[in-house]
Structure 1
C-alpha cells in the first residue's frame, strides 16, 4: 500500500508542477502586460502548487479509488478470495497483475470443472450401462416365464438359471461398487500381517489353472523361488489384486500364451511383483485411464468376458491404501505388464 501511495503522490506532484508552471507563466505574462510584477508575485507559484496538489490528490482518491473499489467489489461477487484479502490499490500495474492472475486461476478452475463434468457424465453412463444389461436380462427371462413358458419344466429351469446369473452379476457389480466407495473414503480397514507372497501366488495359480487351460495359457513364475519372500500387507487384499491381474491376463491373453509372475527386490525394504502376459496388449492412449471406474478399452459394448469393470480401479485403490505404487506397461500385439510394490518383511 505504501508503494501505491508513493506512486500516487508522484503523479500528483508532477501534475501539480505542470499546472503551477503553466499558471505562473500565464500570470506573469498577464501582470507584465497590465500591471507591474513585484516580489509578492513569488508567493503565487507556491500557493498554486499546494492548492493543485491537494485538489488533484483528493480527486484521485475520490474519483479513481472509488471506481477501482467497484472493480474489487465486482470481483468479490465472483468469490475471488485472494483479491478480497488484499488492500485496495490505485496502482494500475498492481491491479492489472491481480486481475490477470484472477483470470488465469478462474480459467484453470473452469477447465478443471469441465473435465470433472465430462468424467461424471461418462461415469453415470457407464454405471447405467453396467446395471442395465443384467437387469434387462433378468426382466426378459422372468417376463417370458410369466407369459407361459414356466409351464415347460425344461424351459423354466433354463431361464431361471440364466436369470440367476444375471442377479449374480448385479450382486457382483454392487459389491465392487460398495468396496471401491469404502476404499475411496478410507473406510475399509486393512489387516496387515506377515506372509509369504510366493506361496500366495502359487495358490492363485492353482485356483485358476483350469480357467487358463481352456485357452492353453500357462501360469508360471519367471524362475524358481526356493525360499519364501515375506511381505507386510493385507493378505486377503493382495490375493484379490493378484487374482484380478491373473484373471485379466487369461481373459485377454493369446491362445497358447503365458502369464508370468516375477518377484524382485526393489530397494532395501521393498519388493515389486510383476504380472506379465503376451496377449493382445493395450494402446498407449488408454493407459492413463485404465484404472478409472468402468473404463473399458473395448468400446464396442461387448461384455462377453464378464467382470464389473471395477477390477483395476479396486486394485489401484487397494495398492494406494497400502501406500504403495502400481504401474502398467503395454504394447499392442506384444502384451502387458502390471507391477506393484509391497513392503518387505524383516
Structure 2
C-alpha cells in the first residue's frame, strides 16, 4: 500500500520512475498510435529512471545520511555497524531517519543537562567543602598565633585557647572521618553484616548514649503509643545505630527547649519495618526538602544557628540505608517540626 510518509529509498526511486515512465509512454502512444513502442519506452524509462534516481539517492542523499549516523555513533564503524549501514539503513525512510536524529538530539540534550547539573553540584560541593575546612583551620591558626605571640600570657587563658584549638582539631578529624566514610559508602567498600535485633532497644540505647546533649535543652525522648511492643529487624546493627544517633542528634540540635523527640515503629508489610523519628523543632522550609540529604547542604535556618557538625551526617545516613536496599524520606513544616523515616527489612527466621 502506498504510504507517502514512510517511503524507503527503493520505493521512492520506483514511484519516481513510474511517474516519469507513464506520461512518456502515453505521449509516445498518442504520436505513434502503436502500443509496442509505447510499452518499450515505458519499461526503458521505468528501469532507467529507477536506476538513475536510486543512484542519486545513494550517491548524494543517503551517503550524507550514513555520515550523520557515523557522527551519531562517534566511532569507527564495526562490522555490525557496517552491516547496519549496508542492509538496514537503506530500508529506512527519511522520516524514520529524522526520528532517529531527533531521538539522538534529545539524548544528547539530556546528557548535557546532566553534565551541567553535575558541574553545578561539583562547584557547590567544593565551595561547601572549602567552607567547612576553612572555619576550624582559621580558628586553630588564630589561637596558635596568639599563643606564640604572647610570652607572658595568662596560663588560664592559654588553657582556654588550647581547649578551643583541641575542639577545632576534633572537628577537623570528624570531618575527615565522615568524608572517608561517605567515600567508602559511595564506592560500595563498606560491608553490611545483617542480623536480627529489636529496633526499640536500639532506639532507647542510642538516646541514652547522647542524653547529656538532650538534658542541656530539657528534651525528652519517647516511643509513640502502640509502638512499644518489640519488633525485630534484620540489618547491620552498628550501622543502623549510626543512623539513629545522627537523626537523634539533629533532632536535639534543631529542637526547641523543653521539646520532645518521638519514635514510631510500624510494620508496613511482611517484609519491611518503617522507623520514624520526629521532633517539634524549627522545621525545614519546603524548598529545602529535596536537597536535605546532599553532602554539606544546610538550610538557611541551620546556617543561622550556632550548631556544629560536618554537614555529612544525613548524606551518610542515606548511603547506609540504601546499602541495605531500603529507603529514607523526610517531611517537615517550618515552626512545627521534622520527621525522618527509613525502612528496614523485617527479621529473618
| Structure 1 unmatched ranges of 5 or more | none
Q: Is 1:50 aligned with 2:47?
A: yes
- Contact 1:72–1:83 (CA under 8 A) maintained in structure 2: no
- 1:219 is matched with 221
What is aligned with 2:12?
11
Alpha-carbon distance between aligned partners in 2 of 1:70 and 1:208, rounded to the nearest angstrom: 66
Secondary structure in 2 matching 1:330: strand
The 1:302–1:283 alpha-carbon spacing in structure 2 relative to 1, beyond 3 Å, is: closer
Q: What is the root-mean-square deviation of aligned Cα atoms in Å?
A: 3.1
Q: How many residues align?
A: 339
Distance change >3 Å, CA 277–CA 46, structure 1 → 2: closer
Residue matched to 1:154: 156
Task: Indicate the structure (1 or 2) with the bigger Cα radius of gyration.
Answer: 1
Judging changes above 3 Å, is the alpha-carbon distance between structure 1 residues 15 and 61 closer, same or farther for their aligned structure 2 residues?
Answer: same
Give the secondary structure class of the aligned counterpart of 1:282.
coil
Distance 1:38 1:281, change over 3 A: closer
Instruction: Report the 3-state secondary structure (helix = DSSP H, G, I; strand = E; otherwise coil) of the residue aligned with 1:156.
Output: helix
Q: In structure 2, how many angstroms separate the alpha carbons of the residues matched to 1:307 and 1:239?
A: 18
Given candidates 182, 201, 204, the residue that maps to 1:202 is 204
Moved more, 308-317 or 16-25: 16-25
Question: How far 1:60 moved relative to its partner?
Answer: 2.4
Deviations 1:28-57 (A, max 9, x none): 67xx6xxx8767644344333333333232
Q: Are 1:330 and 2:327 an aligned pair?
A: no
CA distance in 2, matches of 1:224, 1:8: 72
Distance 2:202 2:19 in 1: 89
1:72 maps to 69
| Alignment correspondent of 1:315 | 317
User: What's the offset of the Cα at 1:27?
Assistant: 5.5
CA distance in 2, matches of 1:220, 1:138: 39
State the 1:197 CA deviation.
2.3
1:32-181 mapped onto 2 (5 Å cutoff): 41-42=37-38, 43-77=40-74, 87-89=88-90, 91-148=93-150, 151-181=153-183
TM-score, scaled to structure 2: 0.85
2:164 match: secondary structure: helix
Give the Cα–Cα distance (whole angstroms) in 2 for the partners of residues 255 and 80 of structure 1.
69
Question: What displacement does 1:149 show?
Answer: 5.2
8 Å Cα contact 1:80-1:102 kept in structure 2: no
The answer to whether the Cα contact below 8 Å between 2:271 and 2:346 also exists between their aligned partners in 1 is yes
